[in-house]
Amino acid sequence: MKIITITFALFCLIFQTACEPLRYKKVSAKDYPSDPKERTKKNMEEGRGFRLMNQMNKGTGYSFATSNPLWRATLDTLDFMPLVSANYSGGIVVTDWYSENNNSEESIKISIRFLTNEIRSDALDVSVFYKECSQNLTNCKVNQRDNELVSQITLSILKKASQYEKENINKYKKENPYEVSTPTRGGKKKSSSNKD
């Protein structure tokens, strides 16, 4: 019984000393700026804050779809075509068969696989399938062609994606003007001060 009492007393003593940092401390409003941006800046300078935006490219290969410029650019480029599948987690977009001017004898289908989230020439695997049918639509042939349309689609997506990425960086700089980390080539980031 004595051992249990001593153990309990030691446990209470350790517990009481461990709670010291959690005790309520009086804080004066004069010590903190009223503007939220100034408060955030002060907390970051004093080492009491952390940045979520720098962690977005770590972990899994895919971030949220709307913040991915490559994904947004792909959906905008293929906006005129009906989609069969747009699987962000699988990294693939497949359109339905599409024909211009109600020409049912010739139609195309586009499949785009995402090989990486980085905006570069080998980020996408674009496949274009052509379906040619006879006049009564009974005899159809489907062929995959690697032609000029593949390079046009790829170039259009990459241009839009780089434009969206620049807009995101500029928007983030305006919202957080005291310091911004911007990605550079090779996956490394550089830190730049953007003081007014």
Domain boundaries, the chain: 65-169
Question: Would you tell me how many other CB atoms lie within 10 Å of the CB of residue 64?
Answer: 9
Give the CB-side neighbour count of residue 5, counting CA atoms within 13 A.
Answer: 2
| pLDDT grade for 16, boundaries at 50, 70 and 90 | low
For 65-169, CATH number out of 3.30.530, 3.10.450, 3.30.60, 3.40.30 equals 3.30.530
* Residue whose C-alpha is closest to residue 113's, from 142, 90, 136: 90
Bridging pattern class, strands 83-87 and 92-95: antiparallel
Mean pLDDT of 35-42: 70
pTM tops 0.75, yes or no: no
User: What percent of the chain has a predicted confidence (pLDDT) above 90?
Assistant: 18
The two tokens of residue 163 are 């434009």
Helix (H) or strand (E) holding 192: strand 189-192
| CA dist., res. 140 & res. 82, Å (int) | 21
